[in-house]
Structure 1
Amino acid sequence: MFHGTITEELTSHEEWSHYNENIREGQKDFVFVKFNGLHLKSMENLQSCISLRVCIFSNNFITDIHPLQSCIKLIKLDLHGNQIKSLPNTKFWNGLKNLKLLYLHDNGFAKLKNICVLSACPTLIALTMFDCPVSLKKGYRHVLVNSIWPLKALDHHVISDEEIIQNWHLPERFKACNHRLFFNFCPALRKGTTYEEEINNIKHITSKINAILAHNSPVLIVQRWIRGFLVRKNLSPVFFHKKKQQEKIIRGYETKWIYITKGYEDKLLKDLFFKPETNIKGKLAYWKHDKKKLWVNFH
């Protein structure tokens, strides 16, 4: 006879608990989960996924993401289109030391103070918060950019130097949110994507953001020039020494200068490269006095 609900009786049975243990053991090896648009309300089943690297839990009814605290290997976390109104504290985000991409757009965030806890995430480079109430607040972008130090891209645009350095007015090319800095790093989800494809996509997004910054960040451009100058300065003695050695070798060879008619240029080159035994000197004697001449150096 069952004492309580059927579910409680079944789950308390010895065989059922053994089955649950096997499931939990298997979940430890999960590296990729994708639950998009399934009307899910909880993420509790992900607590045992300690090896998880890519988590797509978009377009559901999630309100609490604390179960992800044990997923310390996360690289990409997609939670857009849910009902999340607040984020866990800094301890939660400080534990996600590999997290690079975080998609939180189309949620219920309303306070900037709550979002600033993301500053504890040490490797976060791309974040989306558009279509949230907080994105309508004045200074929203300025606060996030200057709170999350490793951040490089926010809401379809790579962060410009003008947003980071106060009172620095740059030309149009380097201004915030200009077309050169635009990059949609959260495209529509595709069906049937694999873990390898997701990892390759993460690498592509990271490299694309870095490439945009390399060409549109004055600070990085100047740094690149200075590094190049210092490298050339340090290596110049080596090249100077090699150049001297080459000059000594060249002086040891006998140089002969000969005039060649432009009309016979192609034929002469063929003879030089494909018929080394050809009597070049005899042929060149006839071309010596032509108007169009070409210098050739024989060693």
Structure 2
Amino acid sequence: MFHGTITEELTSHEEWSHYNENIREDQKDFVFVKFNGLHLKSMENLQSCISLRVCVVSNNFITDIHPLQSCIKLIKLDLHGNQIKSLPDTKFWSGLKNLKLLYLHDNGFAKLKNICVLSACPNLIALTMFDCPVSLKKGYRHVLVNSIWPLKALDHHVISDEEIIQNWHLPERFKACNHRLFFNFCPTLRKVIGFFRVSF
């Protein structure tokens, strides 16, 4: 009886290991994942998703995004509504050469210096940081716009030339954060997927 129990446990363990191995193998082919509002605290399960292009892990309890360093094909990364207070170093971001859209709003970022590591991300064109403590700092937008050179839109507005070239005063319609420069690049998920199919 005792021997039978051990044999069953070993069989179950072997089956479980084989099952996990198959899952990890399948994850290598994932190009899209969405884990929204699932109370997640870790992203370790995404380490094997090396083909990932769109990753939505919003409204969770994530504090560390280092596991994503192997996801070098990412185009869009949505981490809004988590508990992230600091970002990985420039080496992490320089590896994400395809990343274009990064949503970090509604997190706990408080230091501008830490956000400036995003300057190492070579093709980042749109970033959200609103509803973070750092967005209330004086000169927040000016510093980010002039640190992350590829950036075309920050929060709800397209970046104006007036924000880049110091002491250059443009007509009202081209001024920073003018309503004409409003741009909603956080559309519904369905529209975003369509955008990727057409553009990438």
- Name the TM-score, length of structure 1 as normaliser: 0.59
Would you identify which runs of 4 or more consecutive aligned residues in structure 1 move more than 4 Å?
A: 1-12, 294-298
CA distance in 2, matches of 1:137, 1:295: 37
Percent identical pairs in the alignment equals 95
Residue of structure 2 in register with 1:96 after alignment:
96
CA distance in 2, matches of 1:297, 1:79: 22
Structure 1 residue 12: deviation in Å?
9.3
C-alpha distance after superposition, 1:211-255 (max 9, x if no partner): xxxxxxxxxxxxxxxxxxxxxxxxxxxxxxxxxxxxxxxxxxxxx
Which of the two has higher C-alpha Rg?
1
What pairs with 1:40-119 in structure 2 (closer than 5 Å)?
Answer: 40-119=40-119
For the structure 1 residues 11 and 296, does the alpha-carbon distance in structure 2 shift closer, same or farther, using more than 3 Å as the test?
closer
- Pick the structure with more helix per residue: 1
For the structure 1 residues 8 and 31, does the alpha-carbon distance in structure 2 shift closer, same or farther, using more than 3 Å as the test?
farther
CA distance in 1, matches of 2:198, 2:74: 64
Residue of structure 2 in register with 1:268 after alignment:
none
SS at structure 1 position matched to 2:102:
strand
CA distance in 2, matches of 1:124, 1:133: 22
Structure 1 residue 52: deviation in Å?
0.2
CA distance in 1, matches of 2:122, 2:114: 17
For the structure 1 residues 5 and 59, does the alpha-carbon distance in structure 2 shift closer, same or farther, using more than 3 Å as the test?
farther
CA distance in 1, matches of 2:31, 2:198: 65
SS at structure 1 position matched to 2:3:
coil
Structure 1 residue 60: deviation in Å?
0.4
Structure 1 residue 187: deviation in Å?
3.2
C-alpha distance after superposition, 1:167-223 (max 9, x if no partner): 101111211111111011113556xxxxxxxxxxxxxxxxxxxxxxxxxxxxxxxxx
8 A contact 1:11–1:17 mirrored in 2: no
What pairs with 1:197-216 in structure 2 (closer than 5 Å)?
Answer: none
CA distance in 2, matches of 1:65, 1:85: 11
What is the aligned residue count?
A: 195
CA distance in 1, matches of 2:7, 2:81: 31
Structure 1 residue 14: deviation in Å?
2.6
For the structure 1 residues 122 and 106, does the alpha-carbon distance in structure 2 shift closer, same or farther, using more than 3 Å as the test?
same
C-alpha distance after superposition, 1:83-107 (max 9, x if no partner): 0000000000000000000000000
8 A contact 1:2–1:9 mirrored in 2: no
8 A contact 1:112–1:140 mirrored in 2: yes
In the alignment, structure 1 segments of 5+ residues that lack a partner are 191-293
Q: Bigger relative contact order, structure 1 or 2, given CA contacts below 8 A and separation 6+? A: 2
For the structure 1 residues 17 and 156, does the alpha-carbon distance in structure 2 shift closer, same or farther, using more than 3 Å as the test?
same
